[in-house]
Chains A and B, each alone.
Chain A
Amino acid sequence: MEHKVKTPLFHLAKRTGIAPSWAWLIRLSSILVALVIGSLAIAITGNQPIPAYRTLLEGALGNEAFRRQTVKMAVPLLGCALAIAPCFKMRFWNIGAEGQITAGALAATLMVRLFAAKLSALPLLLLMAIAAILGGGLWGLIPGFFKAKWNTNETLFTLMMNYIIIGVVAWLQAGPWEARQGRMAQFPANACLPKVLGVHCGWIIVLVLAVLIHVYMKYTKHGYEISVIGDSMRTAQYAGMNVGRIMMRTMFLSGAISGLVGFIVASGANNTLAKDIAGGVGFTSITVAWLSQLNAFAMILISLMLAILTKGASTLQTQMGVPAAISDIITGLLLFCMLGCEFFINFRIVFRGSRPEKGGKQG
């Protein structure tokens, strides 16, 4: 015959309406798939995957001290994810949280240097927090202003702002503010956040923030404006919104929260300022925000999950000699699988010869 009939092996079909339970099953299995692939990586290092995973869990949650450290790691991740959520909702790609944390920590440290001798703990801490909010907010406002006025690329701008502020702190650390051996002095006791249940009280602050951000995004006029801009800038203008002003305001807010996180890390966790104070949290929190689909409460879980992975992996390294980088690999796999599984929630693969799914109710 002249024309041979060949149908492709499979093709994709979009699904509408998937049962929520089925969608969650797909999401759960994506985590499982990530862990299975991750076990290959562990096996390559010459270890048994299952004991390794057990050690990892125990290393993160096995005892009181481990749990405290895990929570301590989760606090800035959560805080920062909450900070960037409004920007991302607006489709303003703020990847400058790293710099905004540093700016906040720098402003807080300046307050310590100026007023630590004159003020008692509570007013000093409050002053530090306010300074951090303003410092981080300003660092976020600058790219917001340029975007609003001249439509600059916010991704590059916020990224570059990171390097500037980190450079400033590096200079202070090795120069004017150096205490010894290229380090700054520890904060005095009245500049350190008090502990609650064994961990600095930053965890309470970020949990309260999670509720506030949830309410802000969902029930306020500001939140509504942000959602509309994120959906369509033209629609926002049509509705009479001042898009530029809303952008600047949201970037200030985002920077301010990141700045507050900077204060929490400097005052609560590190008790000092260093150029690597943000330590990549500003970037990891993008993962957190994305995986939780900008849901404030999901962010609590995701930030804990990533903290468990990171903390557990360091234990894994000391106890079993598995490189701690394994946690990065697993995190990467989790991100890949969890984001990738959304594809299977939206599409169906139809193989050649398989019986087509019944049309069901027509849309």
Chain B
Amino acid sequence: MSEEFAIELKHLTKRFGAITANDDVSLGLRRGEILALLGENGSGKTTLMNMLAGIYQPDGGEIYADGHPISIRSPRDAYAHKIGMIHQHYKLVNVFSAAENIVLGLSDEKKLDLKQTNARVAEICARYGFDVDPKKKVYDMSVSEKQTLEIVKILYRGADILILDEPTAVLTPQETTKLFAILRNMRRDNKAIVIITHKLNEVMEISDKVAVLRKGKYIGTVNTAETDAQKLTDMMVGHSVTLNIDRPIFDAPVDRLRVKGLTCYDAEHVKKLDRVTFTARGGEILGIAGIAGSGQKELLECVAGLCPVAEGSIEYDPPEGGSVELVGLTPMQIRRHGVALAFVPEDRLGMGLVGSMGMTGNMMLRSWKRGKNPFVNRRQPKALAEKVLTDLEVVTPGIDFPVRRLSGGNVQKVLVGREIASSPNVLMSAYAVRGLDINTSYTIYNLMTEQKMKGCAVVFVGEDLDVLLELCDRILVLCGGRVSGVVDARTATKEEIGLMMTSHGEEAEAHGA
């Protein structure tokens, strides 16, 4: 039986301290088959595959290759067994060319022969439909080109068991389609392929079999043809969940935040935002879509007073009437002007929270300055921490337990809980559900909608287009720091937005991009 598996894992266990990342997982990969490894964040998918790639050592269990027990102690060992992994964060040297990256670390060649390398690279590309320029430097490549390069690198090293960790997370819908075509070519070529993912529609589209992990435990493997998204979710979560996001309509949206011609540069004087103009309305969720690094972060930070604005204006219209110009104000001045602005930044622990402090200390981040007393007031923050703890069901050993050591979902609950508690008129969030499990994600969506229905203007920077289309009222699409358009989320399609993510309105037609 085990002979037909290219790789078989038996009873693998891996622990990190008291946390068991993988608990007695058994799994088999076959050649000519695409296996989707499905599970929520933190269910141990990446850990499990890292043991195959030689990054981690299992604490228990065995790995078999074609029926023989093997031990993989380093990525080099993994290559010896023809296992290659494409990590979520690419392992490329920026200043090297594609060809140099491909041969990097290979010791079997007697001398570096780039010409021969190029020929082999060209051969691999032709075979599977890749498009790689061997001379191109990595720093000149787009995210999708880098990913292609990683795949070619691994094929060059002779891998016929490929593991891809969340390969579509950074791709546009069009790029994803291209990647899937390549994966199908490789399947035809009798490779064994694993893709780690938590996106159900992709699982349904590309895989032959689905293996589900939940909290480190192996739940089961099913044939993709015999299952559906709802069944898989239930396996992933362990109980039934509804996958619909409620989108009520607020009666009378009013303009709350008017951004005009906003331009800003980063520390290296690279233009990050280029004449961005939009309006966020109270009672509406404005989604912001775009490839990672298209200016989403800078946009929110400009509004929050954390990023210097070169040109343009940001006007805030409070419900009481009047208008406040936010450009040029520091975060403290913005607060002093009575601007009820809440901000859930992308970097939760590095910007939104103090990792070494407990919930109380983190609630204080908003209130610490109040009053003339030189001593900090802990009573109110503590009461607030207790309220957030019960309202959002934060799981923590104690109110003063360092938030850095909480799980990702609980960290986000602390942050969102604090920001919402300030009863904001504008709520900005960046990648608010990144790394969260399904239940927490839906909690966050509901909180956003709740704020919207209170008349708050919600700005929601997201990466999952399906979610943006379901949650938001309008979606603003950014491309290279420019607004390529604002669409109605109720009528727009994923393809339409995907196209806007890679090209600015008029330019798209001119260049035919």
User: Which positions in A face B, CB cutoff 8 Å?
Assistant: 1-8, 11, 13-17, 219-225, 227-228, 231-232, 234-235, 237-242, 350, 356-357, 359-363
Contact = CB atoms under 8 A, between A and B. Distances in A.
A17 B354 contact: no
B375 A240 contact: no
B59 interface: yes
A223 B369 CA distance: 12
Contact of B18 (A224, A228, A231, A362): A362
B331 A238 contact: yes
A220 to B, nearest CB: 5
Given A231-B356, A234-B347, A359-B15, A239 B365 contact: yes
13 contacts: A3-B71, A4-B71, A8-B73, A16-B18, A221-B375, A227-B354, A232-B351, A232-B354, A232-B355, A235-B351, A238-B331, A241-B332, A362-B18
B351 A356 contact: no
B353 A15 contact: no
Given A14-B16, A16-B19, A238 B368 contact: no
B376 A356 contact: no
B57 interface: yes
Please tell me the size bucket of the interface on B.
Answer: 35 or more
A222 B353 contact: no
A235 B375 contact: no
A356 B354 contact: no
B315 to A, nearest CB: 20
Given A221-B376, A239-B331, A363-B18, A350 B59 contact: yes
A165 to B, nearest CB: 31
Contact of B369 (A14, A221, A362): A221
Contacts of A232: 349-351, 354-355
B230 interface: no
B366 interface: yes
B105 interface: no
A6 B355 CA distance: 39
Interface string B345-365: 101011111111100010011
Contacts of A231: 354-357
B359 to A, nearest CB: 15
B18 A361 contact: yes
Interface stretch (B62-70, B82-90, B248-256): B62-70
Interface in B42-70: 57, 59-60, 65, 68-70
B17 interface: yes
B304 interface: yes
A17 B405 CA distance: 11
B229 interface: no
Contact of A220 (B332, B352, B364, B374): B374
Contact of B68 (A1, A223, A356, A361): A1
Contacts of A363: 17-19, 407
Nearest to B57: A11
B362 to A, nearest CB: 9
B105 to A, nearest CB: 21
A235 B350 contact: yes
Contacts, number: 119
Contacts of B335: 240
Interface of B: 13, 15-20, 23, 57, 59-60, 65, 68-71, 73, 81, 215, 304, 306, 330-332, 334-335, 343, 345, 347, 349-357, 361, 364-366, 368-369, 373-376, 405, 407
Contacts of B364: 224
A300 to B, nearest CB: 24
A16 B17 CA distance: 5
A224 B371 CA distance: 15
A352 to B, nearest CB: 10
Given A221-B374, A356-B15, 19 more contacts: A3-B65, A3-B68, A4-B71, A15-B17, A17-B18, A221-B376, A225-B368, A227-B354, A228-B365, A235-B353, A238-B351, A239-B366, A240-B334, A241-B332, A242-B330, A242-B332, A357-B15, A363-B18, A363-B407
B71 A14 contact: no
Contact of B16 (A1, A8, A13, A222): A13
A3 B23 CA distance: 26
A296 to B, nearest CB: 17
A361 B59 CA distance: 17
Contacts of A242: 330, 332
Contacts of B59: 13, 350, 356
Given A240-B332, A359-B18, A220 B71 contact: no
Contacts of B16: 13-14, 16
Contact of B306 (A3, A6, A237, A356): A237
